[in-house]
Amino acid sequence: MIEKYKGIVPKGDLILIERLCEKLKGCSFLHVNSTRAGGGVAEILQRMIPILEELGLKVRWEVIEGDGKFFDITKKIHNALQGNEERFTKEMWEYHFEVNRWNAEKMNLEADAVFIHDPQPAPLIKFRPKNKESLWFWRCHIDLSNPQKSVCDHLMKYYEGYDAGIFSVSKFARGEKDLEFIVPPSIDPLSEKNRELTEQEIQETLEKFDIPPDRPMILQVSRFDRFKDPIGVIKAYRIVKRYNDCVLVLAGSPATDDPEGEIVLNEVKEFAANDPDIKVLLLPPFSDRDINALQRAATVVLQKSLKEGFGLTVSEAMWKGKPVIGGAVGGIPLQIIHRVTGFLVHSVEGAAFRIRQFLNNPTMTEKMGQKGREHVWHNFLITRQIRDYLSIWYYMKEGKEGILEL
């Protein structure tokens, strides 16, 4: 499988990955998160695990189970860590812990390296097997730059037990440990969501959703989440529409660990007010080809987030040569170099202004799209993330001397 990436990703990444896997061959690697479908974490693991298996590592992926009450609590934790004020009771924290205890009883947590993703399964550290050689990492994908202090403090009690933390952006790191690493997420250029498509495949998707192929399309692909600001996207589109002909497409898939998705979707549909030029698409899980086609057909792509752990849809669109307008938050500024690979914005009016710039200047649009693809090639392809994870693991295991031997 790794052979398929030759000529597509940086050669140095492939060389280092193969060397690291030779050193770690036979070692076991466990990932634990809260969903197999919906969101960037699940997408990355779906693509990463087969590559690591082929290279000789024993890799497992476990998903914690929980009921509606559990995921309501963890959604509140997520929102609070991203800055919303949420009310928590002792009973809520106890339930969060108990669901993790129940999962730990039926889950095999034995592995040489264990990656626990985000707050939902964070308490699993309390059930860590008594294996001194095992390394446990807390991998946080969300924006911790301005969290609700009481919620963050509670979560840090679990974080204390981990050997190291891994964050997507440096300003999210907590400074609570000697070892904290920065590893931005990534996209797989060979996945169904990012591979090259024929014109016929693109046209089939446009026809399926009744999207006119001969009019400029503004697109935002994201979960229906208030932090993604879909209402703000519609407001920006309405400003643009006064001057430029265009259609707006808001597309997203549900995530099993996000109980607010349906509520926000209904808010968006109501705000769209039956405008025939606004398409609100709730796509089923694994609609990767359709998302790929929409991104390739778009004239301008938005990710107008108000808070954002990273926002993989930015790199997805840039890989397809599209200029992206993003909120100047979280991991988006790592991807969008302002005025080079796209524009960073702080308001609805700013987003509308930048959309019109792209619609009115095709030459600039194409040039920024090309720069964006180059930036993704250098920084945000999956082989770079695999390289980073393996390098951290090997460093933790063998120290500086081991790294120098590579």
**Residue 37 pLDDT grade (very low, low, confident, very high; cuts 50, 70, 90):** confident
Residue 218: CA count within 13 A, CB half-sphere: 30
**Residue 258 pLDDT grade (very low, low, confident, very high; cuts 50, 70, 90):** confident
Q: Are residues 19 and 160 in the same domain?
A: yes
- pLDDT given for residue 190 in this prediction: 96
Rounded to an integer, the average pLDDT of 314-324 is 97
The reply to whether 192 falls in a domain is no
Q: Are residues 161 and 237 in the same domain?
A: no
Q: Are residues 133 and 245 in the same domain?
A: no
The reply to whether 346 falls in a domain is yes
**Residue 402 pLDDT grade (very low, low, confident, very high; cuts 50, 70, 90):** low
Q: Are residues 228 and 306 in the same domain?
A: yes
**Residue 271 pLDDT grade (very low, low, confident, very high; cuts 50, 70, 90):** very high
- pLDDT given for residue 400 in this prediction: 67
Cα–Cα distance measured from residue 33 to residue 185, given in angstroms and rounded to the nearest whole number: 15
Q: Are residues 114 and 245 in the same domain?
A: no
Q: Are residues 352 and 387 in the same domain?
A: no
Q: Tell whether the model's pLDDT for residue 133 goes beyond 90.
A: no
Q: Which residue has the higher pLDDT, 122 or 399?
A: 122
Lowest-confidence segment of 9-18, 67-76, 195-204, 257-266 by average pLDDT: 257-266
Q: Are residues 175 and 228 in the same domain?
A: no
The reply to whether 70 falls in a domain is yes
**Residue 404 pLDDT grade (very low, low, confident, very high; cuts 50, 70, 90):** low
Structure confidence by residue, pLDDT tens digits, 169-186: 999 998 888 899 999 999
The reply to whether 115 falls in a domain is yes
Domain that holds residue 349: 199-379
Cα–Cα distance measured from residue 229 to residue 225, given in angstroms and rounded to the nearest whole number: 7
Amino acid identity for residue 369 in this structure: G
- pLDDT given for residue 338 in this prediction: 97
Q: Are residues 370 and 399 in the same domain?
A: no
Q: Tell whether the model's pLDDT for residue 114 goes beyond 80.
A: yes
Q: Are residues 180 and 234 in the same domain?
A: no
Mean of the per-residue pLDDT values of the chain: 94
Q: Are residues 255 and 156 in the same domain?
A: no
The reply to whether 362 falls in a domain is yes
CATH of the domain at 333: 3.40.50.2000
Closest CA to 297 of 396, 239, 216, 394: 216
- pLDDT given for residue 401 in this prediction: 67
Q: Are residues 327 and 364 in the same domain?
A: yes
Rounded to an integer, the average pLDDT of 279-297 is 95
Q: Are residues 70 and 106 in the same domain?
A: yes
Rounded to an integer, the average pLDDT of 76-84 is 93
- pLDDT given for residue 405 in this prediction: 67
Tally of domains in the chain: 2
